[in-house]
């Protein structure tokens, strides 16, 4: 739905750029391959191992590199506590769509490249001993965009959180918004996930939305904005319309920091900006404040 791809940095090393090459072996880590990595935040070349040790933060400037959904789970949940839900859901090609290559082929190459069947991982686990339903959209898989599988997995996670009275956290990393390739089916996932959140809300369930770089378009304009508490990682790109579309519409240079986490905080749409290593503690504290 967003007509922009985010600017160069937020795109993970195997994000949008890699959409063009389907033959790379799956990469396990978010930080680029190699011993050294150049930080887009400060421009310095930093030791990759140090970045990994800091949950994907630059040791010089705290720039938040992309990390995969799997790494995210490892950072947030207690060791070995994650039980995955609906890992058997696979995307299909309802429109017979084709971009630079047929969508069916793109799905296969994305699956091989990322080692993930789709852009969303969901399940339950424990966070510092607190039971939690957790879902993550991973921007490495077709920009983390929401098609039928992402919508269905999120909806099932929301429904289970409601039934099992679990606090719910969804970590969004979706530059692609609603996935163009599945057309109207993707748009309707916005309605589906929000309807499920409506029921969770009525049941008094807690939903913590964590916005990471990037969260745009139909994902921003649906479940991701509806947290009882909305957290954002620093300097993430978050917005409805892509910055290039906005720029083309208003025909002027965009204000500095436009559509960043800090911009959203200033305008009242984010509760707290939280650095990645602090997320675990923050979520635990919020759960404690909001438990009945």
Partner 1 sequence: MPAAPLLPFERPIRQLEEKLAALEADPDPSSHLRDAVRALRREIREKTREVFENLDAAQTVKVARHAERPQTRDYIELVFDEFVELHGDRAFGDDRAILTGFAKLDGQRVLLVGQQKGRTLKERTECYYGCAHPEGYRKALEKMRLAEKFGLPVVCLIDTPGAYPGVGAEERGQSYAIALNLREMARLKTPIVCCVIGEGGSGGALGIGIGDHVAVMQFAYYSVISPEGCAGILYRTEGGATPANVDRAANALKFTSDHLLEFGIIEEVVEEPPGGAHRDHRAAAGALKESLGRAVRELSGLSPDELLAHRYERFRRIGQFEEAVAAEIAGDASAEDATTASST
Annotated binding site: 39, 42, 58, 61
- The annotation places the binding site for Zn(2+) at 39, 42, 58, 61
- Which of 213, 203, 214, 207 is CA-nearest to residue 229? 207
Beta-bridged to residue 229, according to DSSP, are: 208
- Which option in Zn ion, partner 1, none does residue 60 bind, with CB closer than 5 to 8 A by kind? Zn ion
- Site residues (CB under 8 A) for partner 1, limited to 133-172: 148-149, 151-152, 155
Nearer residue to partner 1 within complex by CB, 55 or 186: 186
Q: What letter would DSSP give residue 236?
A: -
Residue whose entry in the numeric block shows the structure tokens 């290559």: 101
Contact set for partner 1, span 8-67 (CB under 8 A): none
Across the strands, what pairs with 83? Answer: 124
Site pattern 25..64 for Zn ion (x: CB under 5 A): --------------x-xx---------------x-xx-x-
Does residue 271 interact with partner 1 by CB under 8 A?
A: no
CA distance 122 to 135: 4
Least distance to partner 1 from the beta carbon of 35, Å?
Answer: 29
111 binds partner 1 (CB under 8 A): yes
Strand partners, 84: 123
The option from partner 1, Zn ion, none interacting with 61 (CB < 5 to 8 A, set by class) reads Zn ion
180 binds, among partner 1, Zn ion, none (CB under 5 to 8 A by kind): partner 1
Tokens for 256?
A: 């500095």
Peptide bond into 52 cis (omega under 30): no
Q: How far is the CB of 86 from partner 1 (least distance, A)?
A: 8
Strand partners, 121: 136
Question: What is the gyration radius of the CA atoms in the chain, in angstroms?
Answer: 18
Residue 274 near residue 76 (C-beta atoms within 8 A): no
Contacting residues toward Zn ion, per CB under 5 A = 39, 41-42, 58, 60-61, 63
């Amino acid at each position: 739905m967003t007509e922009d791809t985010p600017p160069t940095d937020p795109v993970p090393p195997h994000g949008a750029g890699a959409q063009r090459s389907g033959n790379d072996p799956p990469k396990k880590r978010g930080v680029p391959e190699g011993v050294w990595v150049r930080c887009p935040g400060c421009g310095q070349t930093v030791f990759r191992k140090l970045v990994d040790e800091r949950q994907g933060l630059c040791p010089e400037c705290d720039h938040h590199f992309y990390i995969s959904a799997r790494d995210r789970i490892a950072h947030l949940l207690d060791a070995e506590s994650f039980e995955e839900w609906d890992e058997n859901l696979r995307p299909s090609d309802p429109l017979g769509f084709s971009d630079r290559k047929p969508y069916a082929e793109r799905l296969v190459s994305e699956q091989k490249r990322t080692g993930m069947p789709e852009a969303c991982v969901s399940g339950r686990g424990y966070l510092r001993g607190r039971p939690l339903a957790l879902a993550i959209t991973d921007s490495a898989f077709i920009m983390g965009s929401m098609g039928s599988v992402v919508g269905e997995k999120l909806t099932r996670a929301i429904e289970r959180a409601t039934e099992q009275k679990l606090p719910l956290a969804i970590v969004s990393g979706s530059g692609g918004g609603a996935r163009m390739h599945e057309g109207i089916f993707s748009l309707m996932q916005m309605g589906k996930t929000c309807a499920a959140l409506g029921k969770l809300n009525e049941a008094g369930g807690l939903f913590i939305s964590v916005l990471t770089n990037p969260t745009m378009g139909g994902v921003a304009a649906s479940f991701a904005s509806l947290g009882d508490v909305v957290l954002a990682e620093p300097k993430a790109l978050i917005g409805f319309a892509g910055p290039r579309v906005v720029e083309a519409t208003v025909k002027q240079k965009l204000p500095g920091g436009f559509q960043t986490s800090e911009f959203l905080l200033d305008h009242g749409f984010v509760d707290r900006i939280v650095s990645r290593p602090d997320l675990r503690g923050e979520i635990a504290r919020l759960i404690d404040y909001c438990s009945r």
